[in-house]
Structures are given as structure tokens and as C-alpha cells.
A = this chain, B = another copy of it.
Amino acid sequence: MDHVASPSRCCLSLFFLVVAITLLVRSWHPPSKTASSFLDCSQYSLWCTSKNLIQAKSNLHDKPLLIKQPQVVLPDYSSKTHQHPLDPLTIQEINQVLAILSSFPPFLSSFPSINSVSLDEPEKSQVLNWTIGHPLPPRKAFVIAYLEGQSHILSLDLASNKVTSHEIKSNSGYPILSKEDMTVAAQVPFSNPGFNRAVTDRGVALSDTVCVALAPGWYGREEEGRRIVKVQCFSSQGTSNYYMRPIEGLTITVDIDKKQVVRISNTGREIPIPHATNTDYKYDSFNNSPKEGLLNMRPINLISMVQPKGPSFSVEDGHVVKWANWEFHLRPDPRAGMIISRAMVRDIESGAMRSVMYKGMASELFVPYMDPSVGWYFKTYIDAGEYGMGLSAFSLVPLNDCPRNAYYMDGVFAAADGRPFVRSNMICVFERYAGEIGWRHYDVNNKVRESRPKVTLVTRMAASVGNYDYIIDWEFQMDGLIRIKVGLTGMLMVKGTPLQNMNQVLPHENTSGTLVSENVIGVLHDHFVTFYLDMDVDGPVNSFVKVNLVKEETSPGESPRKSYLRTKRHVARSEREAQIKLKLYDPSEFHVVNPEKKSRVGNPSGYKVVPGATAASLLDINDPPQVRGAFTNNQIWVTPYNRSEEWAGGLLVYQGKGDDTLAVWSERDRAIEKRDIVVWYTLGFHHIPCQEDFPIMPTVSASFELKPVNFFERNPILRVPPCQE
């Protein structure tokens, strides 16, 4: 290639790198004198760890550092003021919420437990009309509290210090189980002699016993009229991975409000506790044992994504992410985990920012296990509504969960007593270069050879919901594509068994999963993650178009061909027409278009939902868990925008009956053509465990995409420069 000289933008133009310290400020500063002095190699010995750098800088700036390590002192949240209508509540605001609730008459006699405190978003129109620099819409808080069997749904106006709405719900599901609830539930059994005997009878010391609080689902039985938790226990003796050592068949039903044991089910006394051998995953647990995995593997040299000038993105006012042609608002949320709002991409012709999506988030999960036995039938988790994806998302591990140069965002949530706490490093944002190709071509006729590397931006969180870890990535590409990826790792939920070897299984016997180790069955289960995608393609007024591929037959003599394909566009008029089950042999594309916005050559501006590999729920549609998880009955749904319909499993999911799910809303069959619409996409996994998943699972991932379709007049990355030495 004979390219004209141009500064390389995508890679290293020199073979040596220097430290780059970039501070998080409203916009990028030019490298400070101090930073640039790091070019002086003689200082490396003094300045070679980020720890030093942070210490060196932290006294100069009160903003969090871009290269952030756990050692970094947290920013002073109390002084944080919100700059955007969608900024999450601050510590100050959560304290204000607590103050308002404390003087709220219904709560004067006895104060409820606070299950979630989050931003009560302004009306969409207010947010859309707001521009930077202008006054923010009134700040409001949305609170779910629980008191004496009743769920309280409140909205608070922080300007007037008033509760502006208060609704009480009974017996239609309960709020998210709080950390405090879980702690209590896990402790209650130990005050029960029968439980203690059951444990010690299995040869497990009470001091080694770890119990976990499990959502019971709803089966119209003992779950009726009271809030219960199913408690199951494990032996932690000899391992930090107690999940691999279940006390099988021991299930304690706890009334969490009365803090009483309702029932102890103790079957499976004959089932041994699996051994601790080879179950640990802590790196420092391997010191005294041979490191097979290392001894037999060729060592891997250092490899890192390096950015000598630092990342190209900025996070302005703490939440507005700007990168390449993208801009969006990013915030942590106790229930969804991570919320992307107002995603806009720059038009290559006009330079204007164009709306793609108003709001996107993981709305709900459904994880049914496939064992109908007494200790297992209820394991059909609806994680976001029962545990909270954000509340279950903990600090990411720098350099392991996220690469160097990642920016870390903290979550600010409320505890059960209503007091705020900070979940540090809960979300990371980083630029990604994986050696992928944005576009390329070699032309044999004129010998033109052009290629462009692909650089993307990723926002990531990881929720550890009990045994499982869910890694959720939103990846933004310069060509306008958004990839939403879910990774599954962590521990299998395993079942104890007398089986030591599959040769002990009778020919027609069928276990509920795979024997992954002696006495350990990895139980078959599914994972479904349903995403809420409030698409606003060039504005809120959109339509959903099913572009169906159909086979056409030629008429005799018309062509040497017998058949070919054509596209048939069907604009969905109402919700039922947009209940989609994917079919390999009746394929379609799924476009969200703006019927009013046509391209230069007359195609409607659109984005398409591109399904990836996925799985469908095969459970009986009337099975209680499937009724609660009915939002997985289709892979795609489209509903008219309704601010009260954000959680696919309903607002109050814990012990919910499934009477307030996406499936119920959609059956109203409301009009969705030329309206503000919300697309729901469900990513599914069937998980047949294998021994490789023991004792901790290598990450399994699946994804789907939101992809521009006639949104741009042409390839938006055509003019991105190549990488040159």
C-alpha cells in the first residue's frame, strides 16, 4: 500500500510506550506537565506502578482517577451534584429520602425495610427536551419498602421533600429480598435443634455449615400469604467452594418476617457430602498442591491492550460517556445493574447526533432448574426481581475483569435501613481492540488493498447472584452496531448423589444432570435474560417491521432457476403481531424503523434486532414457573412505551404469581404502529453441565445485536484511516 502519511489512530506508531495518566474531568485535559514528564525514562523506576501514580495524584484532585485501583480513596460523593436528568441518586439524596420517609406518617410507628431506592426518572418528554446547561427537571426518588406483609411503592419529590405518591400492595408478590433478609434467613435455622441435629447427623460441623437463602417461586402452597425463604446448606470444610459440597435433601422453609422455621425437609440422609478435593478455586489455595494446569502448559507472556495516550473516551459529569461517534448516559441501578440511556450516534453526513435508543437494560432473568424433586422443584429463579442484578454486582477485579485503562464507575445504593452505601468499581468502561477487522478488500484487478482494524467501546458489569456470575457487556462499534453480550460463569448449582461413577446408573435411569465429580450432579437448567430496549430511532415515533424471507417459485420458462428468495415487509400494527418465535426455516429480520425519516434514496431509517445463538423455554406454558417466567414465551415482543412496564417479570416478583408480566401486558394487543415502542429481546441458554464446569465454569457467552439498517446513507466507517507504522 502506498498510503499518504497520516497519524495512526488505531495502534502503536512507536515501539515504545509511556505512562499516560488521564484524569476524569468534564472533558479531557491536555497531558499535564507532570504526566508528560513520564516520557523521561529515568523516572520509570520511581513511577512504574499505578499505585504510586494514584498516590502522587490523589492529593491534587478529588475526582476519581481514570486508571483506578482498589486502593484509591472513593470520591467525595456527598459533594456530588447531578448534571443530567438521569443521573442516579447521590448519597446526599438517599439520605434525604431516608429523612423524608422517617417523617412520613404511615412509617412513624414502625419503619419499613427499604428494598430499593432509585431515581424516579423524569417524564421522557422532560428528558428529551432538556439540554446541557439548562436546569434539571425536579429530582424524584422511587422507593419500594416492605412493612408487615405489605409492599409500599412510593415516589418522593426531593425538591419539596414530600412523598408524592404512595401505593400499598398485598399478596401479589414481594419486593427484592434484601441482603439483610438473606442474612437473617441463613441464620434462623441454626436456632433450631432439629436443624442442627440434621446437619451434625450428616457429619458436618455446624461451624463449617454455610446456608444460602433461595427464592421459593410460587406454587400456590406454602408460599401463599407469607414471605418465605428456602434455605439450603453446604459444608465449607476444606474449601472456599462450599457450593460443591451440598448437604443434599436438607431444605428449611423459613418465614422471613416471623424469623421462624416453618418446615424442615430432610430427605437424602443416605447421600454423602461430596469431598472437598479439587473444589477450591482460590489461587492461593494451590500453593501447597502441584499446579497441574501450569506445569503442563507453556507459559503465556505478558499481553495487554495498551493505550500510551490513554483511552479515547470521556465520562463527563460521571455518567455521560462519549467515544468516537457515540454518546450515551450510563448509570448503575440496584435492580437492572446497568442502564444505558439516550444512546446517540453521530451522523457522518450532517455531523448531528441521532437518537438510537432511549433506554436499554437487562430487565429480568429466568433460571429454571430441571428437577421436580422436593429439594429442587422450586429452583426457578427470577434473579433481577428476586435478588437485584445491581445489588448482586460487586467490585470488578482490575486487569482480570476489565483490561488496563478501564474506567470504573461506583454504584450508590440504599441498605435495608435506608442508609446509602457505595458499591465501588461496579461498572467498567474500556476500549477494546481484539485484532478484528472493521472492513477490508483486496482487488485482484486493480491491486487495491485496504483494511481497517476494529476498535470498540465496552461497558461491563458482573453480577454474582449466589453461585452464578453473569457478565453483561454493552459493546459499541463505530459502524453503529451495538452488541449486547451475556457471559455465564461462577459455580454450578449441584446436587448430591450416591453415584460415584456413571457405570452405576441403570440403562433406563435418567439423572437430572451430569455426574461432574464423585457424588456431584450438575443439574440441567436454562438461563434466560430478557432485555428492555426502548428504541427511539431518530425519535420516539417508530414502527416494528418484520422483514420475512420467503421462497418464490419461477414460472415455467421464466428462468433456468426454479426458486429464489424475496423479502416481504410486514409492519406490526399491534402487540400480538410482534410476538416472535425465531424460526431457522422461516427467517426474518426485525427492524425498528422511523416511518417519517427516509434515507436519501427513500429507505426508512432503522435499526434491526439481530438475534444470536439462543435457546427457547420448553417448559409447559401452564407450569407455575413458566407462568411467572412467561416473558420468555417468545424471543421478541414489542409493546407501546409505558413507564410502568419496565420489569418483564413484574414489579413485585418474589413469590409473585406471574400476573403482571410482559406476557400479560402484550396480550392487551395495544397498537404499536407509528408509536413510541419498546422491544424486548430474550437471550437464552440451555445448560447441560459437563465436567469442565467443575468446580467453577469457564465463561460461556451469547449475544445479540442492534444494527443500523439504512440508518446511515452509507458505510459510516469508510473514511476511518488505516493503521500505519
Contact = CB atoms under 8 A, between A and B. Distances in A.
A132 interface: no
Contacts of A3: 283-284
A16 B41 contact: yes
21 contacts: A3-B284, A12-B302, A15-B49, A41-B41, A219-B560, A240-B448, A292-B349, A293-B719, A296-B325, A297-B324, A300-B324, A301-B310, A303-B306, A400-B722, A440-B489, A510-B568, A518-B601, A526-B565, A561-B624, A563-B623, A587-B615
Contact of A616 (B6, B298, B584, B616): B584
Nearest to A623: B562
Interface in A285-340: 286-287, 291-313, 322-325
Contact of A723 (B322, B399, B524, B599): B399
Interface in A422-441: 430-441
Contacts of A502: 598, 601-603
B694 A306 contact: no
B296 A312 contact: no
Contact of A501 (B4, B12, B602, B616): B602
A660 B475 CA distance: 44
A449 B294 contact: no
B686 A490 contact: no
Contacts of A9: 299-302
A324 B395 CA distance: 29
Query: Chain A binding site: helix, strand, loop or mixed by DSSP?
Result: loop
Nearest to A525: B565
Nearest to A218: B560
A254 to B, nearest CB: 17
Interface string A365-390: 00010111110011000000000000
Interface stretch (A198-206, A245-253, A259-267, A703-711): A703-711
A36 to B, nearest CB: 14
A451 B462 CA distance: 11
Interface in A405-453: 406, 430-446, 448-453
B372 A564 contact: yes
Contact of A721 (B283, B442, B451): B283
Interface string A602-635: 1100000011111110111011111000000000
Nearest to A627: B562
A714 B699 contact: no
Nearest to A513: B567
Interface in A445-490: 445-446, 448-455, 458, 462, 464, 466, 469, 471, 477-481, 487, 489-490
A696 interface: yes
A697 interface: yes
Contacts of A310: 301
Contacts of A4: 283-284, 287
A665 B8 CA distance: 52
A725 B442 contact: no
Interface stretch (A75-83, A148-156, A550-558): A550-558
